Amino acid sequence: MTNQSTITIRRPDDFHLHLRDGEMLKLVTPDSSRDFARAIIMPNLVPPVTTTAMAEAYKESILSAVPSEHSFQPLMTLYLTEDTDPDDLELGAKSGLISAVKLYPAGATTNSDSGVKTISNVYPVLERMAEIGLPLCVHGEVTTADIDIFDREAVFIETVLDPLRKAVPGLRVVMEHITTKNGVDYVRAHEKDLAATLTTHHLIINRNHILVGGIKPHYYCLPVAKREEHRLALVEAATSGDPRFFLGTDSAPHSTDTKENACGCAGCYTSVNTLSCLAHVFEEQNALDKLELFTSVNGANFYGLPLSDQQVTLTKQNQPASYLNTVGSSEFNVTVFDPGFPLYWHVD
């Protein structure tokens, strides 16, 4: 139900979330469980979550960090390696524990050193996934040194993803955190077995935000933000209502000191204010009526999940919503994503 100042939507899902482990897990989990019903949990821990048993243990750790007053379901994934056991994967999927498998090209992003070096080596696993309908979540970038960092996604689509999908027909693929018009166009060219997540921050920032007027480490993420023309393509896709596009925040917490140093970590922490940010973006596009599709419907449908029966109401007020600049303590904290404009949409 929508009017000029209030919108009520099904409680959202986050189809790409980093919760880390240890003290970081305890710190950031409540920020996601407060607003989101479910989340696809990334497995790039150290060591990575590569087996069903490891995923079960990780899920228990996450649930122990969810406040008792919150209702939150972590949807677990396995980290694909060239040693992944198809039988273990299938058992995990059939038990309901494993919702997807994550492909990281080796070296593409945080804790991806154990990722896949030669994609053909994992075709037997991908064929098993196609047989049982288990989605593959793809970090879509090549990592070879001769490819410019701003071209990694486009080259991946052409040289890795398209050949992979032709080699393993029927494999259900989620192109995660797409950042280019190339990614949008590729998804739209294929009606079956393909979808894409879009992040909060990539709908708001372009590469100028990172570099103009000095380096802004809290806008640095991987895949890196691209030109404005690509951001506009992402916004158009997100606000279109197209069922192939849905929210995956890629909220990726790092302690502030590891972002603000000579070799800063990649990631934007958006779990705190994502809904307010998205309401702003969708209102600008006169598309508030499409917000629920993007946050709460399209992704659930692709993953074959029931839609949430809970609701969230956002109200536009005269005064901006107040969000902390950091979460944590003075000794250990995470800087919250700053969209660069006031957020008048409050989560009730």
| Residues with catalytic roles | 250
How far lies 14's CA from each of 26, 40, 176, in Å?
18, 6, 12
Structure tokens belonging to residue 61: 């750790």
Closest to 141 (Cα-Cα) out of 178, 102, 196: 178
- Report the distance separating Cα 14 and Cα 198, nearest Å: 10
Residue 8, CB-side half-sphere exposure with 13 Å CA sphere: 4
- 3-state SS, one letter per residue, for the chain: CECCCEEEEECCEEEEECCCCHHHHHHHHHHHHHHCCEEEECCCCCCCCCCHHHHHHHHHHHHHHCCCCCCCEEEEEEECCCCCCHHHHHHHHHCCCEEEEEECECCCCCCCCCCECCHHHHHHHHHHHHHHCCCEEECCCCCCCCCCHHHHHHHHHHHHHHHHHHHCCCCCEEECCCCCHHHHHHHHCCCCCEEEEECCHHHCCCHHHHHCCCCCHHHCCCCCCCCHHHHHHHHHHHCCCCCCEEECCCECCCCHHHHCCCCCCCCCCCCCCHHHHHHHHHHHCCCHHHHHHHHHHHHHHHHCCCCCCCEEEEEECCCCCCCCCEEECCCCEEECCCCCCCCCEEEC
Within 10 Å of residue 66's Cβ, how many Cβ atoms?
Answer: 17
Contact predicate 45/58, CB 8 Å: yes
Residue 64 main-chain phi, psi, to 5 deg: -70, -20
